[in-house]
Amino acid sequence: MTLMKEPDLGTPAVAGEATVTVEIDGMPMTVPPGTSVMRAAAMTGIDIPKLCATDSLDAFGSCRLCLVEIDGRKGTPASCTTPVADGMKVRTQTPRVEKLRQGVMELYISDHPLDCLTCSANGDCELQDMSGVVGLRQVRYGYEGENHLDLLTDSSNPYFDFDASKCIACSRCVRACGEIQGTFALTIEGRGFESKVSAGGVDFMDSECVSCGACVQACPTATLQEKSVVELGMPTRSVVTTCAYCGVGCSFKAEMRGDQLVRMVPYKDGGANEGHSCVKGRFAFGYATHPDRELEPMIRESITDEWQVVDWDTAIEHTARKLLEVQAQHGPGSIGGITSSRTTNEEVYVVQKMVRAAFGNNNVDTCARVCHSPTGYGLKQTFGTSAGTQDFKSVAEADVIVVIGANPTDAHPVFASRMKKRIREGAKLIVLDPRTIDLVRSPHIQAQHHLRLQPGTNVAVVNAFAHVVVTEGLVDQDFVDARCEGFEEWAEFIARPENSPEATEAISGVPADELRAAARLYATGGNAAIYYGLGVTEHSQGSTMVMGMANLAMATGNIGRDGVGVNPLRGQNNVQGSCDMGSFPHELSGYRHVSDEAVREVFETLWGRPILPEPGLRIPNMFDAAIDGTFRALFVQGEDIAQSDPNTKHVTAALAAMDLVVVQDLFINETAKFAHVFLPGTSFLEKDGTFTNAERRINRVRPVMAPKTGMHEWEIPCRIAQAMGYEMSYDNPSEIMDEIAAVTPTFAGVSFEKLDKLGSVQWPCNDAAPTGTPIMHVDGFVRGKGAFVPTTFVPTDERSTRKYPLILTTGRILSQYNVGAQTRRTANVAWHPEDVLEIHPHDAEVRGIENGDMVSLASRVGETSLKAVISDRMPVGVVYTTFHHPVTGANVVTTENSDWATNCPEYKVTAVQVGLRTPAGPAQDVARQDIPMAVD
């Protein structure tokens, strides 16, 4: 339930042509077959009373409030469960149905607390509304009979309460948990009068609930209510904006009281999420006003000095002067910058412009370097551009879903819900992952094939898939002949015996028979879609693997229509955008190489400065050059490289070696400990701009409050550039987007005005596609013909040894996000207060490790300590941890190994040893961690 009401037509839309005409209270309406009478009525402007119906859920027909009369039919059918029929005449207001509705309401109200004036949902309660709508004037049964008014409130969840005394047992929460979220944590326990909503017989916190908020959203009363609303009261205004967390890019209504954010409510018209949310976007926004947040600029001469608070003018002048001094002493290439995927397109664009135009070099890189840079390389080589091929909706048309190196239920939970819905409808699922992630087996989900490959063997496995396709005659030859090039050479390569499943079994550990079955399913099961994550990219052959997946999709014709494609699941909310904006040192915006003279001329003409034709330093190269002494100053925008980047000792040695480190962030993060200038950034609630999500959807980020720092983040690089002698100014961020559109062909049609009008667009958006491009490569690839690229498997140098016999792989967990700077400053720590090491029972047993013991985790570059969690979700020989907490320092042990093409770190393969450090005492508690459980 939400105060800022969006239209609710009662039941979901039905796809298809409107061919059925009905008459409702004398008003004609034509709708697609299968549409409910309730929805058809709502489309004519007639709202039939309802309680258990809402258009985000399938019709249920339990509340009996939506009864209508239909000419020629007996009785009073529920309009939510009755489909229209041609010529049907419906009457929604008759003495008969009015009397029935009043009777139903009397029963509800006779067992409901009559505390409306003090209820937290006062003014936002459908039960209250419906009492008025049906004209309830009396409750003949009184209030003294048997009732549920003494039921207790479950306040265990940090974000919402469950007040059972106000429950009307409409099942909307139960259905939302199942139909929308796909978790099935809730049920109706008991029968008849004893029926009650239950989180599986335990409180919400100890249940399977993932706190996505779908139940709270669906609840028509105050039964499930945000604690913030209970504490603060109902919001009074609403601003549609975009989530600051993962690459799904959910649209939310930020609901406010004055300048105080009361709650975030998922927006039904949001193209990415269509009204759904996860625990992070829905509830974990408290970091924006956390006391740790720095709001004033600070400087210091040495990193051992105390910070000195200064005003903005002083900070800007100081930063510019220091940058110029470094350049004067060490040359123009001695400074550079890093852009962030947590900032807007406009904020990213001005940083890379500052580097290229004011710094006069190409030493700009983005944090996508350490996550999806191989996607950029691999998809550009094969398809012609760095872009996921589909929109999220496309998964609803997939018949076979292949998830490779991704854990969507934790890292991209709102998209995972879409995916799970399609799987429940019958789509087949293939999972390639060393770990038994939740998707492999969860309520109503069972992967047809879980290929539990050894870390580091992705390319061997994808080659074996393709080998089956080519050698068993499963190639879509018409597609290949018409749309692709290089097939013959590639097919000859892939058909070699060394690429057969039988040959790769010894390398990957994937049984040949199962791989063959999975490959056949992918090639012949209908629309087949690949979704992948950092388990693909963060390898020494990350780029090769991306090309391998692209080869596979082209060979089977699974490109260019709904339900297919190759889809990177981007980690942070604006990974796609930060890459689009020219953040890579070799590319200007729109993925155009700096060596292209015609492209450089466009920028040089507009910017009035020459652009160097050779690439600048990538992030790992910056670190190496810093230690080498040729790179001396770094501007870091919203990224904590000292925590997130691999081989922490190497990173911190590089930072310590620099003359000047400038950090622009919300908090004094790990990197800021090495900084000489701290420039406070703005939270997403203060930003005005755009984010681009993993489906290339450009969404508006709208400010709900003024910058708490006194300066918009996009203004900071502009002012530094000005202070360095380069004129760079804008009146507002829409002017920045206008400049982006002017220099970037794929953004040529994008403007704030268009985004405000359409809601969002997916690039390319230009004259050829004025409202955007949901599906790419429909009639041809961006590069013309799709290119097959041979992908020889080359094992990583990182091997398990006698000294380091286990392989560590890292990732994230549902309740936390990236380095945890945001989520650690919210109540989400209730689920994940510390990083833990997941280890297989056998590996634990031979080391004498028990659940909850403190263990040492050591690699050839470093050592750290953390708690062990024994889990048979792990294969023998592989351990796993997250990197959300700096105290753990997971990246202390990860190495300098990287993707050969892009230098994306090989986070997913580190040879380690694990040893018992301190046995767990009885008081040590790991029970509330998101502990992986056995699945069989």
Partner 1 sequence: MTHAVNPQVRLANEIAVQFHHRPTDEAAAAIAQHIKLFWDPRMKADLLRRAETEAASLDPLVLRAVTHLRP
Task: Please give the C-alpha separations between residue 679 and each of 176, 676, 740, in angstroms, as whole numbers.
Answer: 43, 10, 25
What is the phi/psi pair of residue 358, to 5°? -90, -45
Task: Please give the C-alpha separations between residue 739 and each of 39, 349, 358, 606, in angstroms, as whole numbers.
Answer: 44, 10, 17, 9
List of residues 6+ apart from 637 with CB closer than 8 A: 337, 338, 339, 340, 343, 347, 348, 351, 664, 681, 717
Q: Is 800 or 903 the residue whose CB approaches partner 1 more closely?
A: 903
DSSP assignment of 759-794 equals SEEES--BTTBTT--SSSSSSSBTTBSEEP------
Task: Please give the C-alpha separations between residue 735 and each of 493, 718, 731, 751, 885, in angstroms, as whole numbers.
Answer: 50, 13, 7, 9, 38
Q: Is 617 or 723 the residue whose CB approaches partner 1 more closely?
A: 617
Instruction: Strand 760-762: give its sheet, edge to edge.
Output: 689-692, 697-701, 760-762
- Pick from 412, 273, 375: which is nearest to 817 by CA? 412
Question: In 3-state terms, the chain is what percent helix, strand and coil (to 5)?
Answer: 35, 20, 50
- Pick from 895, 896, 877: which is nearest to 618 by CA? 896
Q: Is 826 or 894 the residue whose CB approaches partner 1 more closely?
A: 894
What is the phi/psi pair of residue 494, to 5°? -75, -25
For the chain, give the number of residues: 936
What is the phi/psi pair of residue 40, to 5°? -60, -40
Q: Is 594 or 741 the residue whose CB approaches partner 1 more closely?
A: 594
Q: Is 614 or 756 the residue whose CB approaches partner 1 more closely?
A: 614
Report whether 839 contacts 914 (CB < 8 A). yes
Smallest separation (angstroms) from partner 1 to the CB of 541 = 8
Smallest separation (angstroms) from partner 1 to the CB of 793 = 10
Q: Is 591 or 691 the residue whose CB approaches partner 1 more closely?
A: 591
Smallest separation (angstroms) from partner 1 to the CB of 496 = 10
Smallest separation (angstroms) from partner 1 to the CB of 906 = 10
- Residue 388 in tokens: 């996921």
Report whether 641 contacts 615 (CB < 8 A). no
CA 683 to chain CA centroid, Å, is 18
In angstroms, rounded to a whole number, what is the distance separating the alpha carbons of residues 764 and 773?
A: 6
Smallest separation (angstroms) from partner 1 to the CB of 581 = 19
Which residues contact partner 1 by CB under 8 A?
333, 362-363, 540-541, 544, 585-586, 593, 595, 614-618, 620-621, 624-625, 627, 630, 647, 649-650, 653, 790, 792, 794, 861-862, 896, 898, 900-903
Report whether 889 contacts 855 (CB < 8 A). no
The β-bridge partners of 692 are 698
The β-bridge partners of 36 are 83
Smallest separation (angstroms) from partner 1 to the CB of 620 = 8
Smallest separation (angstroms) from partner 1 to the CB of 617 = 5
- Residue 926 in tokens: 């790991």
Q: Is 420 or 650 the residue whose CB approaches partner 1 more closely?
A: 650
Report whether 448 contacts 515 (CB < 8 A). no
Smallest separation (angstroms) from partner 1 to the CB of 800 = 19
Dmax over Cα atoms in the chain, in whole Å? 92
In angstroms, rounded to a whole number, what is the distance separating the alpha carbons of residues 773 and 796?
A: 38
Secondary structure of residue 662 in the 3-state scheme: strand
Query: Number of helices (H) and strands (E), helices first, in the chain?
Result: 28, 39
In angstroms, rounded to a whole number, what is the distance separating the alpha carbons of residues 871 and 885?
A: 21
What is the phi/psi pair of residue 827, to 5°? -70, 0
Q: Is 778 or 794 the residue whose CB approaches partner 1 more closely?
A: 794
Q: Is 654 or 743 the residue whose CB approaches partner 1 more closely?
A: 654
In angstroms, rounded to a whole number, what is the distance separating the alpha carbons of residues 361 and 252?
A: 38
Q: Is 656 or 934 the residue whose CB approaches partner 1 more closely?
A: 656
Smallest separation (angstroms) from partner 1 to the CB of 498 = 10
Q: Is 184 or 900 the residue whose CB approaches partner 1 more closely?
A: 900
Smallest separation (angstroms) from partner 1 to the CB of 513 = 28
Smallest separation (angstroms) from partner 1 to the CB of 889 = 13
What is the phi/psi pair of residue 892, to 5°? -65, -30
Q: Is 155 or 630 the residue whose CB approaches partner 1 more closely?
A: 630
Smallest separation (angstroms) from partner 1 to the CB of 362 = 8
Smallest separation (angstroms) from partner 1 to the CB of 657 = 10
Report whether 520 contacts 552 (CB < 8 A). no
Smallest separation (angstroms) from partner 1 to the CB of 302 = 22
List of residues 6+ apart from 846 with CB closer than 8 A: none
Report whether 175 contacts 181 (CB < 8 A). no
- Residue 458 in tokens: 């992705």
For 325, the enclosing helix (H) or strand (E) is: helix 312-330
Q: Is 6 or 614 the residue whose CB approaches partner 1 more closely?
A: 614
Smallest separation (angstroms) from partner 1 to the CB of 501 = 20
Smallest separation (angstroms) from partner 1 to the CB of 463 = 12
What is the phi/psi pair of residue 841, to 5°? -55, -40
Q: Is 541 or 682 the residue whose CB approaches partner 1 more closely?
A: 541
Smallest separation (angstroms) from partner 1 to the CB of 792 = 5
Q: Is 646 or 774 the residue whose CB approaches partner 1 more closely?
A: 646
Smallest separation (angstroms) from partner 1 to the CB of 794 = 5
Q: Is 481 or 614 the residue whose CB approaches partner 1 more closely?
A: 614
Instruction: Kindly give the pairing relationship between strand 153-154 and strand 160-163.
Output: antiparallel
Q: Is 353 or 618 the residue whose CB approaches partner 1 more closely?
A: 618
Q: Is 285 or 490 the residue whose CB approaches partner 1 more closely?
A: 490
Report whether 345 contacts 596 (CB < 8 A). no
The radius of gyration of the chain from alpha carbons, rounded to an integer in Å, stands at 29
What letter represents residue 635's amino acid? F
